[in-house]
């Protein structure tokens, strides 16, 4: 078990959003968390990444308890978070953004190897390597955020709403790049509003409703489930 | 390739930065021809030191989001430290004028000023800003601003209480004949002050542009969540930034001891001028702050020369109002939205 979340409670201030969320991910899996707006999908991600302190429950990564660690320590353990807002360094070039992604890697040679690896994955970024991140289009920024997340050679990549604010064509590009990533052996946990698309690409899915896990199972089964089809897919 | 460079150059000239730098250089040349090159010397010396104070201010603003109004007091701490370190050294020098201490003694005083500035910055972070960061739930900019004003009052009065309100100055750091360049005589102290500021600004620029730590300081200033995500320890960067910023201000205070003797409110003038620079050049823009520092220094020198010594704060303030009306992001303000614009 790569990641094991047990009875996680979390929220902002006095407002509790997650209530006893439990989920787990095996190495090499491609897992999706879907659910309506405000269900707590992003909160789950942010809590695992350490950006929100958990109120209760535990998070185990590779068998090690990482509950309550700060983000920088969690990143060092091998979890990389690609946030919805991307949080790029807008006044830095694409290359500098990527190099910052490898901040936890001390060896300069390894850092450059990772840079080549990401440039191979996203040739589009190679063309734009000296452009400022803030001046790129939404799709390119998303790609850069994912590329930056890959720079630290993570064991687990958390991707929050990759389709947010993107045109359908660009969304497809982003999903394609995630497909490429999963083939390189990284484990991906994906949070998405686009239920159909997510359930068609992932191996396994969780359905999050009102801060609780409503259902879980193989993605193809979930997509065929009458309840899911009625509530999320509208058919 | 050369065609592309020409295009880049023309668009730069047409930008606000290009226009203002070009005008400044023209004005400087004209003023030098009209009333003598000493005006340029003054501009360059004040500008260099102002650049140190202003980059510190920019750093505090960009990385910590603190509108620092106690930065002048770190200038004061620097000049005070340099005074107390240099006084015994200068007695030694007057007894042994040929000793090598005459050359490196002043440098020791200035380095001590920098170290003291860094230490007091760390103390300020641990006692004042750190606790506020833990408690302040919202309105951080206002709270931290008020705190810096309080810190400034406290430090000024502590100086007065412990060291008294009199002027603690020195005659000069480096003795000997002034250096003459093309009929202009520059005192050794002024020349050294300029050299020190150039060396430090260059080192600082290199540090911020190419080193991993410098890049992570920039990263924190641009997106703090992004910086956390890539694994940067924010606490460490905050402490480093604050000590660096205060050390820069203290170096300026130490190096200019021969011009500004240390007294409780010596920091006010550099503080105001540094704020002029920061507003003029755009918040959180380090390279812009260096260029802006020389512009404000030039403006000040020219105002004193052609209008009168009492006007040297009026004209820059008027200019800043104009800048805020017509280009609120500052003349070097970037088109890319920074962390502070949110």
Distant-in-sequence, close-in-space partners of A56: CB < 8 Å, separation ≥ 6: A7, A8, A9
Assess whether pLDDT exceeds 80 at residue B148: yes
Cβ pairs bridging A and B (under 8 Å): 79
- Residue numbers in A near B336 (CB within 8 A): 90-91, 132, 134-135
> How far away is chain B from the Cα of A119, in angstroms, using its nearest Cα?
18
Which strands, in side-by-side order, build the sheet including A212-218?
A79-82, A156-160, A187-192, A30-34, A204-209, A212-218
Contact A103 B335 (CB under 8 A): no
In A, minimum Cα distance to B232 occurs at A72
Q: Which tokens hold the place of B155? A: 């430090």
**For A53-61, what is the mean pLDDT?**
94
Distant-in-sequence, close-in-space partners of B200: CB < 8 Å, separation ≥ 6: B52, B248, B251
Phi-psi bin for B195: left (phi > 0), alpha (psi -120 to 50), beta?
A: alpha
> How far away is chain B from the Cα of A178, in angstroms, using its nearest Cα?
19
pLDDT digits (tens, 9 = 90+) for B172-219: 888 777 777 767 778 888 888 889 999 999 999 899 889 999 999 999
Provide the pLDDT for residue A109: 95
Q: Which tokens hold the place of B203? A: 């080192």
Domain membership of residue B60 as a residue range:
18-341
Q: What is the dihedral of CA A45, A48, A52, A54, to 10 degrees?
A: 120
Query: Residue B203: inside a domain, yes or no?
Result: yes
Contact A83 B222 (CB under 8 A): no
Say if CB B97 and CB B140 are below 8 A apart. Answer: no
**For B31-52, what is the mean pLDDT?**
85
Give yes or no for A81 touching B (CB within 8 A). Answer: yes
Contact A101 B219 (CB under 8 A): no
> How far away is chain B from the Cα of A108, in angstroms, using its nearest Cα?
10
**Angstrom distance (rounded) from CA B115 to CA B243:** 9
Of B216, B219, B229, nearest to A49 by CB-CB distance is: B229
Confidence of residue B56 (pLDDT cuts 50, 70, 90): very high
Query: Residue B6: inside a domain, yes or no?
Result: no
Provide the pLDDT for residue B333: 65
**For B16-42, what is the mean pLDDT?**
81
Residue B93: CATH number of its domain: 1.10.3470
Provide the pLDDT for residue B342: 36
Confidence of residue A98 (pLDDT cuts 50, 70, 90): very high
In B, minimum Cα distance to A49 occurs at B229
Contact B219 A89 (CB under 8 A): yes
**Angstrom distance (rounded) from CA A55 to CA B77:** 44
Three-state DSSP at A73 gives helix
pLDDT digits (tens, 9 = 90+) for B215-273: 999 999 889 999 999 999 999 999 999 999 999 999 999 999 998 999 999 999 999 99
In B, minimum Cα distance to A131 occurs at B336
Mean pLDDT of chain A: 91
**Angstrom distance (rounded) from CA A70 to CA B293:** 39
Provide the pLDDT for residue A83: 93
Query: Residue B12: inside a domain, yes or no?
Result: no
Q: Beta strands A56-61 and A64-65: pairing type? A: antiparallel
- Residue numbers in B near A80 (CB within 8 A): 229
Provide the pLDDT for residue B291: 87
**Angstrom distance (rounded) from CA A32 to CA A182:** 13
> How far away is chain B from the Cα of A130, in angstroms, using its nearest Cα?
14
Of B216, B231, B336, nearest to A91 by CB-CB distance is: B336
**% of chain B surpassing 90 pLDDT:** 44
Provide the pLDDT for residue B311: 86
**For B157-181, what is the mean pLDDT?**
87
Give yes or no for A100 touching B (CB within 8 A). Answer: yes
- Residue numbers in B near A49 (CB within 8 A): 229
- Residue numbers in B near A75 (CB within 8 A): 228-231
- Residue numbers in B near A153 (CB within 8 A): none
Contact A83 B223 (CB under 8 A): no
CATH code for residues A3-192+206-213: 3.40.50.300
Q: Note every long-range contact of B39-46, with CB atoms under 8 Å and residues 24 or more positions apart, other chains counting.
A: B39/B301, B39/B302, B39/B305, B41/B184, B41/B186, B41/B190, B42/B297, B42/B301, B43/B294, B43/B297, B43/B298, B43/B301, B44/B194, B44/B294, B44/B297, B45/B190, B45/B193, B45/B194, B46/B297, B46/B300, B46/B301
> How far away is chain B from the Cα of A222, in angstroms, using its nearest Cα?
32
Provide the pLDDT for residue B313: 84
Contact B223 A99 (CB under 8 A): no
Of A90, A99, A135, nearest to B338 by CB-CB distance is: A90
Window A:143-202, CB contacts with B under 8 Å: 148-149, 151-152
Provide the pLDDT for residue B108: 93
Q: Which tokens hold the place of B181? A: 């360049």
Assess whether pLDDT exceeds 80 at residue A99: yes
In angstroms, what CA-CA distances link A230 with A203, A225, A227? 21, 9, 5
Assess whether pLDDT exceeds 50 at residue B326: yes
Contact A92 B219 (CB under 8 A): yes
H or E segment to which residue A76 belongs: helix A71-77
Q: Which residue has the higher pLDDT, B334 or B211?
A: B211
Q: Which tokens hold the place of A172? A: 């497809």
**Angstrom distance (rounded) from CA A33 to CA A23:** 10
Contact B338 A83 (CB under 8 A): no
Q: Which of A63-67, A88-92, B276-280, B284-288 has the lowest mean pLDDT?
A: B284-288
Q: Which of B27-31, B189-193, B275-279, B338-342 has the lowest mean pLDDT?
A: B338-342
Assess whether pLDDT exceeds 80 at residue B330: no
Contact A85 B230 (CB under 8 A): no
How does A121-150 read in b/e, with b if 16+ C-beta sit within 10 Å? bbebbeebeeebbbebeebbbbbbbbbbbb
Assess whether pLDDT exceeds 50 at residue B26: yes
Distant-in-sequence, close-in-space partners of A91: CB < 8 Å, separation ≥ 6: A132, A133, A134, B218, B222, B334, B336, B338
Task: List the beta bridge partners of residue A187.
Answer: A156
> How far away is chain B from the Cα of A209, in angstroms, using its nearest Cα?
27
Q: Which tokens hold the place of B160? A: 């007065």
Sign of CA dihedral A132, A82, B222, A137: positive
Task: List the beta bridge partners of residue A208.
Answer: A213
Assess whether pLDDT exceeds 60 at residue B340: no
pLDDT digits (tens, 9 = 90+) for A127-183: 999 999 988 988 889 989 999 999 999 999 999 998 887 888 888 888 888 988 899
Confidence of residue B339 (pLDDT cuts 50, 70, 90): very low
**Angstrom distance (rounded) from CA A49 to CA B32:** 59
How does B171-210 read in b/e, with b if 16+ C-beta sit within 10 Å? ebbbeeeeeeeeeeebbbbbbbbbebbeebbeebeeebee
In A, minimum Cα distance to B221 occurs at A89
Q: What is the DSSP letter of A233?
A: I
- Packing angle of the helix pair B234-255, B188-210 (nearest 10 deg): 170
Provide the pLDDT for residue B338: 42
> How far away is chain A from the Cα of B219, in angstroms, using its nearest Cα?
6
Task: List the beta bridge partners of residue A216.
Answer: A206
Total number of domains in chain B? 1
Contact A83 B225 (CB under 8 A): yes
In A, minimum Cα distance to B224 occurs at A87
Contact A72 B234 (CB under 8 A): yes
Mean pLDDT of chain B: 86
Assess whether pLDDT exceeds 50 at residue B336: no
Contact A70 B230 (CB under 8 A): no
Give yes or no for A137 touching B (CB within 8 A). Answer: no
- Maximum C-alpha span of chain B: 64
Provide the pLDDT for residue B284: 66
Confidence of residue B341 (pLDDT cuts 50, 70, 90): very low
Window A:43-72, CB contacts with B under 8 Å: 49-51, 70-72
């Amino acid at each position: 078990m790569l990641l094991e979340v047990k009875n996680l409670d979390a929220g902002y201030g006095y407002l509790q959003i997650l209530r006893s969320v439990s989920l787990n991910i095996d190495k090499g899996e491609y897992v999706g968390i879907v659910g309506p707006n405000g269900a707590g999908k992003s909160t789950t991600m942010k809590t695992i990444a350490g950006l929100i302190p958990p109120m209760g429950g535990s998070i185990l990564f590779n068998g090690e308890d990482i509950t309550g660690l700060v983000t920088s320590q969690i990143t060092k353990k091998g979890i990389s978070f690609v946030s919805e807002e991307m949080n790029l360094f807008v006044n830095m070039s694409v290359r500098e953004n990527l190099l910052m992604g490898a901040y936890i890697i001390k060896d300069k040679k390894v850092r450059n190897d990772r840079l080549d690896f990401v440039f191979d994955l996203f040739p589009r970024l190679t063309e734009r390597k000296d452009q400022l991140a803030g001046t790129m289009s939404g799709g390119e920024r998303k790609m850069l955020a994912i590329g930056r997340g890959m720079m630290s050679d993570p064991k687990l990549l958390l991707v929050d709403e990759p389709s947010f604010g993107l045109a359908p064509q660009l969304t497809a590009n982003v999903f394609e790049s995630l497909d490429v990533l999963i083939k390189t052996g990284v484990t991906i946990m994906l949070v998405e509003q686009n239920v159909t698309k997510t359930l068609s690409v992932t191996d396994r899915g969780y359905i999050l409703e009102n801060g609780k896990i409503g259902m879980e199972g193989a993605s193809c089964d979930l997509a065929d489930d009458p309840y899911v089809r009625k509530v999320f897919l509208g058919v | 390739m050369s065609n592309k460079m020409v295009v880049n150059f023309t668009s730069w000239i047409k930008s606000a930065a290009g226009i203002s730098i070009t005008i400044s250089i023209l004005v400087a040349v004209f003023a030098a021809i009209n009333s003598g090159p000493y005006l340029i010397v003054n501009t360059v010396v004040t500008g260099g030191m102002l650049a140190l104070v202003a980059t510190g201010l920019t750093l505090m603003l960009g990385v910590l989001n603190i509108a620092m109004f106690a930065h002048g007091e770190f200038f004061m701490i620097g000049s005070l430290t340099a005074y107390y370190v240099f006084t015994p050294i200068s007695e030694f020098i007057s007894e042994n004028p040929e000793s090598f201490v005459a050359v490196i003694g002043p440098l020791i005083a200035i380095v001590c000023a920098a170290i003291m500035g860094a230490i007091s910055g760390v103390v300020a972070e641990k006692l004042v800003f750190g606790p506020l960061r833990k408690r302040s739930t919202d309105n951080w900019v206002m709270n931290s601003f008020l705190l810096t004003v309080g810190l400034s009052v406290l430090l000024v009065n502590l100086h007065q209480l412990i060291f008294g309100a009199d002027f603690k100055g020195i005659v000069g750091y480096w003795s000997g004949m002034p250096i003459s360049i093309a009929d202009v005589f520059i005192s050794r102290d002024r020349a050294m002050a300029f050299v020190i500021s150039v060396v430090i600004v260059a080192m600082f620029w290199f540090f911020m542009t190419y080193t991993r730590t410098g890049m992570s300081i920039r990263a924190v200033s641009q997106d703090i969540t992004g910086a956390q995500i890539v694994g940067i320890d924010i606490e460490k960067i905050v402490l480093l930034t604050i000590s660096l910023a205060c050390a820069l201000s203290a170096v300026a205070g130490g190096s200019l001891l021969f011009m500004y003797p240390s007294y409780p409110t010596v920091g006010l003038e550099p503080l105001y001028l540094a704020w002029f620079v920061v507003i003029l050049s755009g918040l959180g823009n380090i390279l812009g702050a260096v260029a802006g520092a020389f512009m404000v220094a030039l403006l000040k020198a020219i105002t004193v020369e052609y209008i009168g010594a009492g006007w040297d704060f009026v004209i820059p303030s008027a200019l800043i109002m104009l800048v805020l009306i017509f280009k609120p992001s500052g003349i070097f303000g970037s088109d890319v939205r920074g962390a502070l614009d949110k």
